[in-house]
């Protein structure tokens, strides 16, 4: 009992060690079969199994049939030799003691060879060729013939009772060899044909069996294309493994759909919170800015410098809050009221606003009339961010050119290019992501400028892209393409900036 428990524990430890070490418990398929599709694996496996069975059957049947054919042939030769020996009369000569043929031995059997020789092997009559050699009283194969030897006795009264000559009766073994070859050929053809039919039948059965899985695969592709996990998964009629797989996929898709809904709701609440918080922060920031500006004007000396520094930080905070509010509003789908706006005039205003901080940069503007339906403040931010991005990332003396135009297809294009060093190739794929800062960027940048450009462009049904330089400006070139309609009422008059108080 103790020995059996010990062996059981040893086997369990060995199994656990195999599982822990990753050793497979089942032998894997051969490498060529692993590269084949499942339906071909099933078909090839069934064909190989059928081939093995048919080969075994063919070997057994071929062996038994060949043995039976040869035995029948040998028995037939023996019977013919006995029959021929009974009907060939001989006589013994009284003059010289030689044996003579009184009847011709030709014509017995179509392919048979009949020879009569003396006791010492001398040819008497019959077919001279082939020569079977000295008579041997047993069945033997000579020169491609199966030969039977029978003694011949004299039928004359008073003759000796012993044999006076030998009868050699032979039939070519090629007759039975051809029969055996035909049998083997038909058996081989049957094996090959059976294996081929098993392969075709296996393919048909596998294709029919894999049809529900193919339907599940097509449904999964459709779900991947539409990204809609709420689609219904088809269930086969039989309650088998495929049905279990369909139920598992349906449960998984349901769980994914519920998880996605929860994630989307959480993200929506976060976007709403960020938008509301950013909006609420604007009022206290405005108050702080007003107080700091008053203090900077009223104080002198070190207090004035402290107030001015705090004023600069507050202004950066206000800009960051404005950027976050714009991005949060875009994420939450809170679109501002769109009106007909001339993008060329917006570009001129943005360039004029940045002129005092451009330093030694040379800014040129080509404001062709380009009316779009959009939010003027957001479009102003878009144009200003593109120009400011060029100022921040190029050395002094760089030329910056901004232009608007109307494409032949009716779309509106805003383009900002410079002749600076351009965007590094490693940064180009991520240039429109949030909080991405390039080398040489000025201090205080939040890394949201180009992200805001993309958000505003997408909110207006357009796109923004970093394209190859063109003309004499070989640096960075940002192109914004917007739709002229924008999905709003085009009958509204163009937006006009209210007069300053």
pTM value is 0.47
Judgement on whether residues 350 and 476 belong to the same structural domain of the protein: yes
Domain identity same for 260 and 328:
yes
CB 403 within 8 A of CB 417: no
Domain membership of residue 17 (yes or no) is no
Structural domain includes residue 463: yes
Mean pLDDT of 183-193: 91
Helix, strand, or coil (residue 433): coil
Could you give the CA distance from residue 453 to residue 434 in angstroms, rounded to a whole number? 11
Do the domain assignments include residue 304? yes
Q: Is residue 191 part of a domain?
A: no
Report in angstroms the alpha-carbon separations of 483 from 416, 429, 464: 18, 24, 12
Residue 306 CA: distances (Å) to CA of 135, 301, 310, 400: 139, 9, 6, 35
Q: Is pLDDT at 179 greater than 50 in this prediction?
A: yes
Do 252 and 314 share a domain, yes or no? yes
Give the residue numbers spanning the domain of 173: 85-178
- 429 occurs within a structural domain: yes
Domain boundary among 334, 358, 380: 334
Contact present, 367 and 347 (Cβ < 8 Å): yes
Select the highest-mean-pLDDT range: 89-103, 121-135, 155-169, 197-211: 197-211
Three-state helix/strand/coil letters over 143-155: CCEEEEEEEEECC
Last-in-domain residue among 306, 334, 362: 334
Contact 389/449 with Cβ under 8 angstroms? Answer: yes
- Select from 306, 374, 369 the least CA-distant residue to 338: 374
Handedness of CA 337, 341, 343, 345 (dihedral sign): negative
Q: Tell me what pLDDT residue 8 has.
A: 41
The residues, any chain, with a CB within 8 Å of residue 317's CB and separated by 6 or more, are 285
Give the pLDDT confidence of 462-485 residue by residue, as tens digits.
999 998 888 888 889 999 999 876
Residues 327 and 350 in one domain: no
Assess whether 170 and 91 both reside in one domain: yes
Q: What pLDDT shows up at residue 7?
A: 46
What value does the mean pLDDT of the chain take?
77
Same domain, 307 and 387: no
Does residue 19 lie in a domain region?
no
Of residues 296 and 103, which shows the higher confidence score?
A: 296
pLDDT for res 305: 82
Angle, CA of 81, 82 and 85, to the nearest 5°: 85
Residues 171, 242, single domain; the answer is no
How many CA atoms, within 13 angstroms, populate the side-chain half-sphere of residue 240? 8
Residues 361 and 468 in one domain: yes
H/E stretch holding 414 reads strand 412-418
Cβ of 180: how many Cβ atoms within 10 Å?
18
Name the nearest CA neighbour of 48 among 205, 202, 234, 277. 202
Does residue 124 register a pLDDT over 50?
Answer: yes
Numbers of helices and strands, H then E, in the chain: 9, 14
pLDDT band at 242 (very low <50, low <70, confident <90, very high): confident
**Top-confidence residue, 191 or 315:** 191
User: Looking at the structure, do residues 356 and 457 belong to the same domain, yes or no?
Assistant: yes
- In this prediction, residue 102 has a pLDDT band, given cuts at 50, 70 and 90, of very low
| Residue 93 in domain | yes
CB atoms within 10 A of CB 242: 20
* Better-predicted residue by pLDDT, 72 or 301: 72
Beta-ladder partners of 402: 365, 416
**Secondary structure (DSSP) of 196-263:** HHHHHHHHHHHHHHHHHHHHHHHHHHHHHHHT-TTSPPP--SS-SHHHHHHHHHHHHHHHHHHHHHHH
The confidence score (pLDDT) of residue 262 equals 83
> Is the per-residue pLDDT at 278 higher than 80?
no
Residue 461 CB burial class (10 angstroms; 0-12, 13-18, ≥19): middle
36: pLDDT strictly greater than 50: yes
| 280: phi then psi, degrees, rounded to nearest 5 | -70, -25
316 and 350 assigned to the same domain: no
Q: How many domains does the chain have?
A: 3
- Residues 344 and 443 occupy one common structural domain: yes
Domain with residue 399: its CATH number is: 3.30.565.10
CB 171 within 8 A of CB 111: yes
Strand partners, 384: none
414 has a pLDDT exceeding 80 = yes
The per-residue pLDDT for range 331-355, each reduced to its tens digit, is 666 666 788 999 999 999 999 988 8
| Segment of 137-141, 313-317, 411-415 carrying the highest mean pLDDT | 411-415
Is 426 a member of any domain? yes
Q: Which residues pair with 363 in a beta bridge?
A: 400
- 3-state SS of 25-84? CCCCCCHHHHCCCHHHHHHHHHHHHHHHHHHHHHHHHHHHHHHHHHHHHHHHHHHHHHHH
Which residue, of 315, 334, 353, is where some domain finishes?
Answer: 334
Task: State the pLDDT at residue 489.
Answer: 41
Query: Which pLDDT score is estimated for 161?
Result: 61
Do 393 and 444 sit in the same domain of this protein? yes
Task: Report the alpha-carbon distance of residue 335 to residue 456 in Å, rounded.
Answer: 10
């Amino acid at each position: 009992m103790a020995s059996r428990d010990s062996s059981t524990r040893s086997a369990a430890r060995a199994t656990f060690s195999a599982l822990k070490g990753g050793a497979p418990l089942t032998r894997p398929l051969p490498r060529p079969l692993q590269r084949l599709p499942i339906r071909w694996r099933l078909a090839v496996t069934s064909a190989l199994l059928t081939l093995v069975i048919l080969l075994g059957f063919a070997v057994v049947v071929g062996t038994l049939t060949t043995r039976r054919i040869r035995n029948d042939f040998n028995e037939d030769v023996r019977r013919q030799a006995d029959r021929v020996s009974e009907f060939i009369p001989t006589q013994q000569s009284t003059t010289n003691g030689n044996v003579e043929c009184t009847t011709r031995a030709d014509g017995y059997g179509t392919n048979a060879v009949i020879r009569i020789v003396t006791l010492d092997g001398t040819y008497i009559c019959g077919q001279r060729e082939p020569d079977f050699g000295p008579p041997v009283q047993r069945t033997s194969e000579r020169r491609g013939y199966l030969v039977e030897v029978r003694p011949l006795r004299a039928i004359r009264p008073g003759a000796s009772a012993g044999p006076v000559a030998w009868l050699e009766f032979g039939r070519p073994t090629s007759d039975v060899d051809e029969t055996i070859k035909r049998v083997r050929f038909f058996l081989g053809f049957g094996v090959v044909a059976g294996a081929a039919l098993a392969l075709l039948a296996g393919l048909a059965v596998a294709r029919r069996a894999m049809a529900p899985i193919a339907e599940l695969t097509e449904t999964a592709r459709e779900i991947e294309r539409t990204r809609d996990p709420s689609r219904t998964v088809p269930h086969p009629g039989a309650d088998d493994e495929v049905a279990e797989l369909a139920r598992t996929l349906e449960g998984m898709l349901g769980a994914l759909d519920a998880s996605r809904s929860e994630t989307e709701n959480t993200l929506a609440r976060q976007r709403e919170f960020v938008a509301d918080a950013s909006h609420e922060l604007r009022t206290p920031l405005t108050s702080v800015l007003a107080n700091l500006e008053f203090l900077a004007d009223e104080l002198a000396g070190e207090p004035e410098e402290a107030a001015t520094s705090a004023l600069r930080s507050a202004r950066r905070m206000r800009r960051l809050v404005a950027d976050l509010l714009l991005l949060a509003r875009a994420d939450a789908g809170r679109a501002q009221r769109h009106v007909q706006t001339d993008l060329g005039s917006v570009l001129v205003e943005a360039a004029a606003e940045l002129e005092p901080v451009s330093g030694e940069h040379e800014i040129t503007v080509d404001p062709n009339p380009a009316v779009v339906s959009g939010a003027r403040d957001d479009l102003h931010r878009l144009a200003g961010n593109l120009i400011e991005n060029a100022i921040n990332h190029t050395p002094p003396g760089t030329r910056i050119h901004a232009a608007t135009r109307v494409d032949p297809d009716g779309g509106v294009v805003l383009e900002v290019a410079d002749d600076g060093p351009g965007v590094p190739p490693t940064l180009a794929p991520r240039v429109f992501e949030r909080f991405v800062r390039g080398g040489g960027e000025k201090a205080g940048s939040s890394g949201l400028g180009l992200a805001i450009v993309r958000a505003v462009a997408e909110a207006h049904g357009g796109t923004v892209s970093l394209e190859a330089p063109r003309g004499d400006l070989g640096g960075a070139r940002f192109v914004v393409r917007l739709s002229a309609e924008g999905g709003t009422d085009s009958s509204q008059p163009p937006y006009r900036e209210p007069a300053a108080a």
